[in-house]
Amino acid sequence: MHALNGKAQPQMIFVALGDTEAIGANCYFVKLDGTGLVLDVGVDPNEEGPESLPRFELIHRNPDWYIDHAIITHAHHDHIGALPVLLREFPHVLVHMTRVTRQLADLLLPASARLQRRRLQEGRSNYGPLFDEKQLEGYSYLYLTHEPGQDFNVTGLRGRSPVRARFYYAGHVLGAAGVLLTHEEDGRRQRVFYTSDTNLRAQAIIPGGDYPEEPVDVLILESTAGADPEAERTTRRLEEERFGEAVRRVLDRGGSVLVPAFALGRAQEVLAVIDRLKREKTLPADVPVYTAGTMRAVADLYDRTRFLTPRLDPSFEVFRVEQRRLPRRLEAVKQALAEAAIYVLSSGMMFERSLSNRMAQLLVEDERHAIFLVGFAREDSPAGQLLAAAEAGAEAIVLDKQRGPQPLRCEVARFRFSGHSHRRDLLRLVERLQPRHVILVHGDEDAREWMADNIRFFYPEVTVWLPRSGEPLEL
């Protein structure tokens, strides 16, 4: 604690600027000894326009709160999608990310601008785009890049002591990193580690994450899989085999399989799994695999950086996996469906108007076909609702509100190829980093509760916090 003007100053202020009750926009304001930082600047994927933004007005309203630096951990929209808006509202902010995340941002943010414009033109949204491609070109020059393991300075203008930052590869997707913040407080070193989305274990392309060697004081911990007991009971290898057998059954009966996948990460990992299953002859080598859109550009970046960022096998190339481009015209897609095939399309949560949603509408009424979910799906997303409907044995499903209910006859199943750590691994991370405080973020209510209960039980010396959106936490 600082004694300044006779008043004790908290060492760290933490405020979640996004929704904390569900998985929404990741954006955390952190004030460390006079320096103002934001960790990630995401949008809520289930909202649109201003509704999807973090609550920047809380910063504008409080004269003691300000932002000197923004640190972006990876290029998923719920972590980076509102960055252009932050830069418009706080033009002096310096932005830090890894080099690959910057390359991904230059691809994915313009794609997001185009999608927002199209939604408005099609009358699907009442909101204008939050930013346009021209603005993005100017902002891109402001992004400072740092390699993991390198210290960089994030001390603010009014910072009373130097604050240093360092990225650690997080395993989650290409370029993803956690960040360690270090500063001196009354001669004592304080360490804060933000895991962001993290995976301790290897996936098909990317190895597990790296973490600080020494203990930290505060751990800001994701809790996505906190309410998923199944994830810890299976292994990736077993899931891959189960997936291979399930896909094969569908192909054998003349059906096609849709795998909705996030354009960054899940899509490339699924292609790597399909490649292995074909080589091991679980799947026929000649079954066509269709991909489309941004995931192909992202795959190219995976390949171009394969000797520069961590890989299980640097010789593996996503584009070595034979792929066809999904035809643009609906008639041509319907023709393609005459042949059994695998479709890997975004978005992972099957949001309305996405390719995966439109493909699902074509497959859902035919019992030969299958939709196999491979990542996290929010309960209120079309993918989450499809899964719940299938499990409940429902006869109809609404994939698109304008179209209305359709008979649910295709096979629906879920496989765990998550890019997130399962909950026991997250507890292991607490054990390894020995924090005094854990702040739980990025998980729905059940997930965060499970994590909180278990940390309190196994590590009673740790203080656990479940901050609500906008409520400052003083440590």
How remote is the C-alpha of 141 from its chain's centroid? 24
For the chain, how big is the Rg over CA atoms in Å? Answer: 22
Q: How far apart are CA 128 and CA 273, in angstroms?
A: 39
Residue 405 Cβ vs Zn ion, minimum distance, rounded to whole Å: 32
Of 31, 55, 76, 166, the one binding Zn ion (CB under 5 A) is 76
Stretch that binds Zn ion, among 76-84, 240-248, 299-307, 337-345 (CB under 5 A): 76-84
Q: Compare residues 83 and 408 and give the one whose CB is closer to Zn ion.
A: 83
| Residue of 164, 111, 150 whose CA lies nearest to 133 | 111
Q: Compare residues 76 and 146 and give the one whose CB is closer to Zn ion.
A: 76
How remote is the C-alpha of 269 from its chain's centroid? 14
Tokens coding 342: 């695998």
Residue 76 Cβ vs Zn ion, minimum distance, rounded to whole Å: 4
Q: Compare residues 76 and 278 and give the one whose CB is closer to Zn ion.
A: 76
Residue 173 Cβ vs Zn ion, minimum distance, rounded to whole Å: 6
Q: Compare residues 34 and 375 and give the one whose CB is closer to Zn ion.
A: 375
Stretch that binds Zn ion, among 8-16, 83-91, 114-122, 194-202 (CB under 5 A): 194-202
| Residue of 378, 73, 300 whose CA lies nearest to 209 | 73
Residue 172 Cβ vs Zn ion, minimum distance, rounded to whole Å: 5
* H helices, E strands: number in the chain: 14, 24
Determine, following the binding rule CB under 5 A, whether residue 19 of this chain makes contact with Zn ion: no
| DSSP code, position 375 | S
Stretch that binds Zn ion, among 11-19, 196-204, 272-280, 296-304 (CB under 5 A): 196-204
Determine, following the binding rule CB under 5 A, whether residue 197 of this chain makes contact with Zn ion: yes
Stretch that binds Zn ion, among 183-191, 197-205, 293-301, 379-387 (CB under 5 A): 197-205
For the segment 170-189, give every residue that binds Zn ion (CB under 5 A). none
Q: Compare residues 110 and 171 and give the one whose CB is closer to Zn ion.
A: 171
- Answer yes or no: are the C-beta atoms of 295 and 267 closer than 8 Å: yes
Q: Compare residues 76 and 448 and give the one whose CB is closer to Zn ion.
A: 76
Please measure the distance between the N-terminal and C-terminal CA atoms of the chain and give it in whole angstroms.
9
Stretch that binds Zn ion, among 71-79, 86-94, 218-226, 324-332 (CB under 5 A): 71-79
Residue 243 Cβ vs Zn ion, minimum distance, rounded to whole Å: 21
Stretch that binds Zn ion, among 69-77, 345-353, 372-380, 463-471 (CB under 5 A): 69-77
Residue 314 Cβ vs Zn ion, minimum distance, rounded to whole Å: 23
The helix/strand/coil state of 450 is helix
Q: What angle do CA 210, 223, 57 make, to 5 degrees?
A: 100
Determine, following the binding rule CB under 5 A, whether residue 33 of this chain makes contact with Zn ion: no
Q: Counting beta carbons within 10 angstroms of the beta carbon of residue 244, is it exposed (0 to 12), middle (13 to 18) or buried (19 or more)?
A: buried
Q: What angle do CA 423, 429, 430 make, to 5 degrees?
A: 95
Q: Is the dihedral of CA 222, 225, 227, 231 positive or negative?
A: negative
Residues within the interface to Zn ion (CB under 5 A):
76, 197
